[in-house]
Structure 1
């Protein structure tokens, strides 16, 4: 049972990490686009 809990935690962490990475990438793209426009 403890192994299952740890696996779920790692899955959550990886999912959160992917979401954070996507948001970070989108933010950087928006900033670059704004710099190009101005």
Structure 2
């Protein structure tokens, strides 16, 4: 019981990390494109 709960915890952490990285990457790309449009 405890082991399966732990596995779920690990999986959700991986998903959260993945989404965070993806979000940061997308934000950086948007900022860069805006920056280059201004120049």
Name the residue aligned to 1:24.
Answer: 20
RMSD of the alignment, in Å?
Answer: 0.3
TM (norm. structure 1) is: 0.87
Q: Which runs of 4+ in 1 moved over 3 A?
A: none
TM-score with structure 2 length normalisation? 0.85
Consecutive unaligned residues in structure 1, runs of 5 or more: none
Q: How many pairs are equivalent?
A: 34
How far did 1:15 drift? 0.2
